[in-house]
Structures are given as C-alpha cells and as structure tokens.
Chain A
Amino acid sequence: MSLTLNHYLFVSGLLFAIGFAGVILRRNIIIIFMSLELMLNAANLSLVAFSRFNLTADGLPNYNAQILVFFIITVAAAEVAVGLAIIVALFRARHTVHVEDITSLKF
C-alpha cells in the first residue's frame, strides 16, 4: 500500500491533538511547553506533506511550503528561548513548576 497525502495529514493531526491534550492536561509547565513544540512540529509535518504531494507543473515539489517550515522552526526556537526565560522567572517568583498552583489572577 503506498502512502498518500492523507496518511501524513492523519499523523500530523494526531500529533497536533496529542500536543493539544498535553497543553490542556499536564501539570508541569516544562511538559506543557514540550507539548506546545509538538503542536508546532505537527504543523511542520503537514506543510512538508503538502509540499511533497502537490507537485507543480514540472514535477517538482512546491518549495514555498518547505521555506515556510524553516520559518516556523526559527520562530519556534525564538519562542522557546523567551518562554524558558519566563519559566525561570516564574519559578524564581513562585518556587513551583506546577501550573495549578499559580492562581493569583483568579477573581
């Protein structure tokens, strides 16, 4: 059986859902962040899949999507840098990595 676009999209969606579930359900802020990265990479996977399967007239893949993947990887890296800095600051203020313990904005 040959792999079609749908297979890759299914995997990408599955990864996205797993990542989203991790963001919603995990307690540790580092794990939440990891799940966030997983969601980003799921998006990357679907982009590359579209690039590989929607060929242009010459038979070459559409490189626009692959370039966009690079952009996303860069943004993710920058975001990780900033986000980890915020987590360190948060830990220094609250001395916990459990998200459930941070409720000072509750009414």
Chain B
Amino acid sequence: MDTQTNLARFILLAPLAIAVCIQLFCRKNHSLSAKLSVVFVCLTFVAAVFVFFGPDSTPPGEPWLDFGPAFRVPIGLAVDHLSKIMLLIVTGIGSLVQIYSLVYMGEDESKARYFGNMSFFMFSMLGIVLANNFVMMFIFWELVGVSSYLLIGHWFTREAAAAAANKAFITNRIGDFGFMIGILMFWSASGTFVFSEMQAALPTLTLSAGFLTTTVLLIFCGAVGKSAQIPLHVWLPDAMEGPTPVSALIHAATMVAAGVYMLARVSFLIALSADAQLVIAAIGATTALFAALVATQQDDIKRILAYSTLSQLGYMIMAIGLKAEGAAIFHLFTHAFFKALLFLGAGAIIHALHHEQDIWKMGGLAKRMKWTFYTFAAGTLALTGCPGLSGFFSKDTILVAAYNNNLWFFVPALVTAFLTAYYMARLCVVVFFGKARTETAAHGHDGPIAMTGPLVILGVLSVIAGYNTAGYFISGPAESVNWIVTILAISAFVGGALSGLFLYWGQSTDPILIPALKKKLYIDELYAALIAGSQDLLASIAGWFDKWILDGVIVRGLSSGAWGLGFVLRFFQFGNLQAYAFLFGVGVVAMIYLLVFR
C-alpha cells in the first residue's frame, strides 16, 4: 500500500464519510454540517496537491464483482497523468465553491442538506476521476447524475427547480443508455473493463470498422448526455434553477467536464475509428456555434453563462474528435477556472441585488462592486481569448488543431470565438457600465471576504494558468506558433468585443431582437411536442385496446356467450315430469337403433 494509493483513498472516501455523517447525524445542525464539509474538502485539496507531486500509481485494485476471468469488475484507483490534474481541479474548485457557499447559502433553511449533497457530489466526481475501469466509472457517472439532481432541486418546492432536476436526470439517463451498450460492446470484444488492460489488449484484436465506429459512438452518447452536447443539451440551461455555487461547481467546472474527461481516458479507443471522430468533432462544433448564437439573445445572466459553458464544452468535444485530447483537457483546465469565476461573480451580483437575475435590471455595478467587477472582467477576458490570459492559450491550441484538420471545423470555431467575445462584451456592458436601471441595482455592493476571496483566487488563476502549462497536457515537441490562426483568433476577439461594446453601450433595452435565438431555436418546445405526441399516441392505442379488445371481446364476449347459450338452453326446461319421461324413452329407442342396426 503506497502513500499515493492511500492518499487517493482518503480523497475519494472522505467526502462520502462527511456526506453520510451529515445526513445521518447533523441534519438539524446547519452550521456544523457546513463547517465539516468545508474543512474536509479543503483537506482533500491538500491531499490532491501531495498526490500531484507524487509518482503515478495504478494498482489493479480490489476485486469486487468476479464471475470468472470473463467478467471482472475491480474497485481500483488510477493515479496517473490525467487524473492528477483533474483531482487538483475538482478538489480545488470544490473547496473554493464550498467556502463561497458559506456566505451565499448563509441564510438558507436547508444548509445541512446542501452541504451533505455537495460532499456527496465531490465523492461521486472524484470516483469518476479515479476510476480505473469502465463499470466503476459508470457507477460514479450515475451517482454524479443523482447528485446533480439533488443539488439542482435543492429548492424543490419551486416548481421550476423540481422540473429542471427531473429534466437533467432523465436527459442524462438517455445518454447513459447508449453509454452502457457501448461499454458492454467493447467488453464483449476485449473481455475486460479495466482501461489499462483494454489498452494493452487492443493490438491483438481484429475488429470490423463498423463495430468500432458503433462502439465509440455509443460510448460518446454518454458524453453527449453528461457534457450537454446537441441533441441532449436541453438540461443545462434549465439547471440554472439550482443555487449559483452549484452551477459554478457542477455545471461549469466539473460534472459537465466529466464527459470530456471520459473521452480523454478512452482516447485510445476513439483513435481507432475515423468516422466516429468525424461525428464527435461535428457534434462538438455544432454545439459550440449553436450555443454561442443563442447566448447572444439571452437576458438572464446565468443563462448566458450556461450557454457559454455549452459552447466551450463544444470546443472541448470538437478537440477530442480532432484527436487533440491534450488540447481538450488543457481547455478543460483553464475553462474550469474562468467559468467558475464567472459563475461565482454572477452569484455575488445576484446575492447583492437580492436574487435579481435579469441583466436589463442591473447596470453601473462597476463602480459599486469593485472586486466583483475586476475579477469578472478577468474571467471574461480569459473566456473570450484575450492574448496573454489562460483562455487564449488553450483556445489557440484547439483552433490550431481545427485549422490543421479541416476548414469545416475551423470556420465555425472561429465564428464561435467572435460570438463569445460579442455576447460577453454585451453582458459586461449591460451589467457593469452605464447607469443603474433599478433601485436595487443602485445599492449593490461587494460581498464579504468569503465571497470575494475565491473570486480573487480564481481571477489570478484565470490569468496565469496558461503560461508554460500547455506542456503538461500536450505531449510531443512544441510546435511552432501558427501565426495565421493566432492572428485570426485575436481579430475574432477584438472584432467581437468591439461589436458588443458598440452595439450595447448606453442602451437601456436590447436593441437587437431575434426571437428564434431568444427562444433557443424552439428545441425545448419541439422535444415537448415529440414526447407529448408519442405519449398520447401510445396511450390512445392502449386505451382503445383495453376498452374494445380486453373489455369488449374477451370479457364481455365470453360472458355474453355464456348468457346466450343459457338463454337458448333454458327452453328445454319444461318442468313437466311426463315430458321428460317421454324424451327419455325416445332417447332409449334411438340408442338401441344406433347400437343394434348400425
């Protein structure tokens, strides 16, 4: 038992212990639950730092399900290149978000439940990061879905929150259906679930191209659900019904990144099928562009950031499809910082303005909420790809990969970059500059240190996390700078930012109105109609069958038959004894005739 494995076990199990402890013993004691959760998540972060600087450790794990050599599911913790950085991200941002929640959820009635669910989420997410085999990852995948459901539905007495939680979980489950089939298909080919064994067994297998493409695409279904790609993206904007720290942690930095992480883990599988890569990259690019378009017309600050997350996830998935997993994880790394920062900043604004989320009711906050403004600005610049900040470096690697592969991917990616700068500029101008549009906006102020502290830390990280870190993610010799891509990216950033600034400076309502984009291209309505329609059709067929066949033909038919037969036969009951005797005699004569003379 080396130290790395022990640390990894502590990192995985401590949040679970806290979650169980809170649920069983501390439900009434809100402040104790909060403090326990925060302290332990910070301890896991410290442990993750030690793990990061230690050696890799990938033991085979304890046997759990063992049905012979054909079906073996161990419980193993893989501490390798990929999981170490992910551990840092998850525990680091988790700690900052939980510290922030101490203030944001300070007056909430169910703080204990919130922190219990938060710790449970940390456990589930760390399970995905550390899993060394597919089935274990799938189990934690589902657990993360449950945690997301619990946290989105934290204020479940709100109709919209409960519905959003359901939507998130059900949409995830649809993706997970394909995911499970993909896992089983690949198990049937290679005979094992463990990632390292699968990778070792690959050269010895001969699999048809069709099989490989189908398996990879099915496994990708899981990422489509979890990382909210088209067509299963519908749950992420609605998930903003949950508390803002939840949005920051789960729906920006960690859970939605789990899809990208999983694909990076099985990149050796994806490399086998060029068709699947094309599909993955296409879906990623489409999601990125679509989400950026919709974000330009949204008015709720959290919805804008949600669509921004969708768009950046699209970038990451596209990078995976372009065989640039290193670029995808690099972008995941930087995105975690600046997106969490943006969400926490939005949360500070929402908290200060007493839960107002419409950007057209804010304004002029730059002067009144200085810390929030500076950190939010840093996050915005990082997101939009301002040269020198972290997002610029990671986005650049993805754009280079797209440029080297196919212009059909590069152009949408570039347009998305332009739109990203545009809608973020729109957001910043409307929220921070100009005059306050309402009374509450005029009285906004920065939060306490527990709120602004994480913002500052994340702000600093958003700025510096790109320098010299690309080498950790992208193996191989450093390529020379692709000046065409860099210049195009910088012009997209400048162009988008300037258009946003120009169009929205000093406006009090939205000058541009594109209803289709505002209504998210009516996809939610389409899905509701499809599901309601098919449900109604099935129900009416079942109803007809039950009413006419089961009730009518079978039940009533049989009973009417018996009744009719009885009605006919009743006429033979004369009640007259001598008539019966006569018929008896006739019958005897007939019998004698038949027996003797025939």
Contacts and interface: CB of A to CB of B under 8 A. Distances in A.
B578 A25 contact: yes
A106 B575 contact: yes
Secondary structure of the B contact surface, majority rule: helix
Interface in B548-576: 570-571, 573-576
Contacts of B55: none
Interface stretch (A6-14, A41-49, A66-74, A96-104): A96-104
A24 interface: yes
A99 B577 CA distance: 7
A20 B585 contact: yes
B576 A23 contact: no
Interface in A24-62: 24-25, 32
A99 B570 contact: no
A93 interface: no
A81 interface: no
Contact of A24 (B570, B573, B574, B578): B578
B573 A107 contact: yes
Contacts of A102: 575, 577
Interface residues of A, number: 13
- Report the interface size class on chain B: 10 to 19
Contacts of A25: 578
A52 B81 CA distance: 120
A106 B578 contact: no
B581 interface: yes
A23 B575 contact: no
Contact of B581 (A23, A103, A105, A106): A23
Contacts of A106: 573-576
B575 A24 contact: no
A105 B571 CA distance: 12
Contact of A104 (B574, B575, B581, B585): B575
Interface of A: 20, 23-25, 32, 99-100, 102-107
Interface of B: 570-571, 573-578, 581-582, 585
Given A100-B578, A103-B575, A106-B576, 16 more contacts: A23-B581, A24-B578, A24-B581, A24-B585, A25-B578, A99-B576, A99-B577, A100-B576, A102-B575, A102-B577, A104-B575, A105-B575, A106-B575, A107-B571, A107-B573, A107-B575
